[in-house]
Structure 1
Amino acid sequence: MIVENVSCAGGQHCETTALGVLLRHEGIDLSEPMRFGLGEGLGFVYWDAKNMGFPFLGGRTKPMTITRTLAARLGLTMRVEETTSVRKAWHNVAAAIDAGRPVGLQLDSYHLDYFTVKVHFGGHVVAMYGYDDTHAYLVDTAQQGGAVTTTRASLELARNVRGPMTARNLSYTLACGGDRPKLGEVVGAAIRSNAHDFLNPPIANLGHRGIRKAAGQVPKWLTRSADPRHDLALAASLMERGGTGGALFRAMYRDFLAECCTIVDDDNLRRGHQMYREIAPLWTEVSRHLAAAAETTDHRHLVDASAVLSDLADREHDAMQTLANIRTG
């Protein structure tokens, strides 16, 4: 069974790619940066737990938050199903596809056949638009191939994994209700809300406070890791090529703000956009310092990365304060 007329274009980021598939099927064509921004996706987390081999730097909100927020912002009906039953999980997905509707899935990318780099990540999101007796037909990021297939057995494993950021065989669909608000009516509110959350994190490892914390911890990373060459190289790679769109999602948010400037006439919005134009390259610079530290194990590169992160903590705080003052729709 294949859902007809599904757009299989892969994007840069997994959740916004899947979101684009589901939205276009409902006749809503938004750019990937617009999906990310309306979903209030920009964030930061410095995540280091006792059971982790190495800290994680994240640049967005929790998995599925972008989709839930955008659906609420645009007045869409989002049906989410979770279950501990593998049989029920498959029924939920097959029923949606049999009804002619693509479905989003949260899963662990480690088990998907087409992933060549095997790293456990339970917050991965794909869109599924078909199946047969042995395979599932998915849409993933352009980096992973766009329209791809995986065996139903591997999909079952990927959906049923337990661990950090995983979900209970989560699947979801989107449907239009009545009239949708115009973009000019919602972009301001989305930007203000995202800025508020970034400026007021509940704990010190999130938002601008998290960037400041990362600046203090990064110089210790050579001794924090059992294999610093591998771990530092992976951290650098994830920032630029781990589905972030570059610069730990800052390039995508910059492009979202640029698009908003064509919709909303607001001085603070234009200033905020210019500030993120300057911020995005600095995150790429952090990545370069981490990569250099991985190659040389020279502590000075981590000190340099820390200095840039300290600067970024101030810059992003100021940028978000500016964006918090734009007009709402």
Structure 2
Amino acid sequence: MHLATFQPQLGVHCETTTLRNMIHHAGVDISEPMLFGLGQGIDFQYWDAPDPGRSTPMLTGRIGPALLSRNACSALGVELRESRAPDPESARAAAAKLLEAGHVVGMSVDIFYLDYFSSRSHFAAHYIALYGLDDSLAYVVDTDQQGGAQTIPEESLRRARGSDEGFMPSPNLQMYVEELPARLTTATDAVLREQIWKAIRPTAERMIADRGPRFGIGALRRAASEIAEWSDTLTSADEMVPGVGRFWRFAGTGGANFRKLYRDFLLEARQRCGDAELDPFVDDFGDVQRQWDQAIEMLMAYRGADDGRRQLEAVAARLNAIADAEQSVFERLLVPATKWAGEPA
């Protein structure tokens, strides 16, 4: 079972890559940054370490899994279907049926069981797009960093899809998109222009809201305060601190990756809408992205630093500066968003 006309679409983040492949195969080419922006994907989230002192908290730069796809599909008028099978056999049968019906199948998986991943850690909030199955092999698309289109043993896919280990597992979760609305296929540009400001406004409102110590700017400031103490509180700081930097840079959950996606979304929005009001925000997010990259570089250089504590204090200062910058840019972005979204403040 293979989708004969399927053409893999590459991307930098797993869920937006998966969503793009599903929508592209259904008949419309929408960029990954546009899907990320319409999906209101940017955020910062703090999840407590499972073993404090022996592990670090999970610090992510986006909203929760599947929420992005739901938001983007809602904005586009696309019906997103999600289901969770009770066991691996039922999940396999459901996927096969969807492939036979011509759908690309999105799946939540644990990277530990994917043969092409070098990581030996369990992380179950990863997404891939399935476009073929045979007796022993599965054909999937992952991010560009993970090689794009991949062929893996079906047993590996079964384990990855059914895992209940790692961060935010969703065993045997699958999704696909129904036939696209006619207007989206015939007037794609018009649909996107109509939805851009409508997606920016709730994103900005959420990012400047006080959502406690686990979400948004407050979570970022909490992370900054705790990172400054990691040299004293972590039992293996020389290993774990650079590991956080590598994870942020290469695993797709880091701030710089998602800030670049949001900058590229605003840039595409500027080009589509012809709205010069977006110009300063494109520049602002470019600066935010650079600051995230600097913080990551400092984390990755921790082991070789002359003074580890001072190095982490510098990281904390950079993260607090990022928090200030993001607070400011979203407060200012909310002003034109409120005007152009066509809704009362």
For the criterion TM > 0.5, the same-fold answer is: yes
Partners of 2:161 and 2:171 within 8 A in 1: yes
CA change 1:105–1:50 in 2 (3 A) is closer
Q: How does 1:176-191 map to 2 (within 5 A)?
A: 176-180=180-184, 182-191=191-200
Match of 2:12 in 1: 12
Match of 1:303 in 2: 313
Match of 1:75 in 2: 77
Q: Distance in 2 between matches of 1:134 and 1:254?
A: 41
- Structure 2: gaps spanning 5 or more residues: 185-189
Partners of 2:50 and 2:57 within 8 A in 1: no
SS in 2 for 1:182: helix
CA change 1:161–1:299 in 2 (3 A) is same
SS in 2 for 1:263: helix
CA change 1:55–1:244 in 2 (3 A) is closer
Q: 2:310 corresponds to which letter in structure 1?
A: R
Deviation at 1:51, TM superposition (A): 3.5
Q: How does 1:167-316 map to 2 (within 5 A)?
A: 167-175=170-178, 176-180=180-184, 182-243=191-252, 247-266=256-275, 268-296=277-305, 298-316=308-326
Partners of 2:60 and 2:254 within 8 A in 1: no
Deviation at 1:306, TM superposition (A): 0.7
Partners of 1:138 and 1:149 within 8 A in 2: yes
Q: 1:227 corresponds to which letter in structure 2?
A: S
Q: 1:328 corresponds to which letter in structure 2?
A: A
SS in 2 for 1:239: helix
Match of 2:61 in 1: 59
Q: Distance in 1 between matches of 2:117 and 2:92?
A: 21
Query: Over residues 267-296 of structure 1, what are the superposed CA-to-partner deviations in whole Å (9 max), with x where a residue is unaligned?
Result: 543332221121110000110111121333
Deviation at 1:10, TM superposition (A): 2.3
Q: 1:136 corresponds to which letter in structure 2?
A: A
Q: 2:228 corresponds to which letter in structure 1?
A: P
SS in 2 for 1:116: coil
Aligned length: 329
- Structure 1: gaps spanning 5 or more residues: none
Match of 2:32 in 1: 32
Question: Are 1:3 and 2:3 matched, yes or no?
Answer: yes
Deviation at 1:83, TM superposition (A): 2.3
SS in 1 for 2:301: helix
Question: Are 1:328 and 2:341 matched, yes or no?
Answer: yes
Q: Distance in 1 between matches of 2:139 and 2:210?
A: 39
Runs of 4+ in 1 over 6 A off after TM superposition: none
Q: Distance in 2 between matches of 1:152 and 1:226?
A: 39
Q: TM-score, normalised by structure 1?
A: 0.95
Q: Distance in 2 between matches of 1:50 and 1:56?
A: 9
Q: Distance in 1 between matches of 2:214 and 2:43?
A: 11
CA change 1:63–1:42 in 2 (3 A) is same
Deviation at 1:226, TM superposition (A): 2.3
Q: 1:273 corresponds to which letter in structure 2?
A: V
Match of 2:21 in 1: 21
Q: 1:177 corresponds to which letter in structure 2?
A: P
Q: 1:185 corresponds to which letter in structure 2?
A: E
Partners of 2:61 and 2:254 within 8 A in 1: no
Q: Distance in 1 between matches of 2:36 and 2:312?
A: 30
Paired-residue identity, %: 33
Deviation at 1:265, TM superposition (A): 4.4
Partners of 1:114 and 1:149 within 8 A in 2: no
Match of 2:169 in 1: 166
Q: 2:280 corresponds to which letter in structure 1?
A: R
Q: TM-score, normalised by structure 2?
A: 0.91
Q: Over aligned residue pairs, what C-alpha RMSD do you find?
A: 1.7
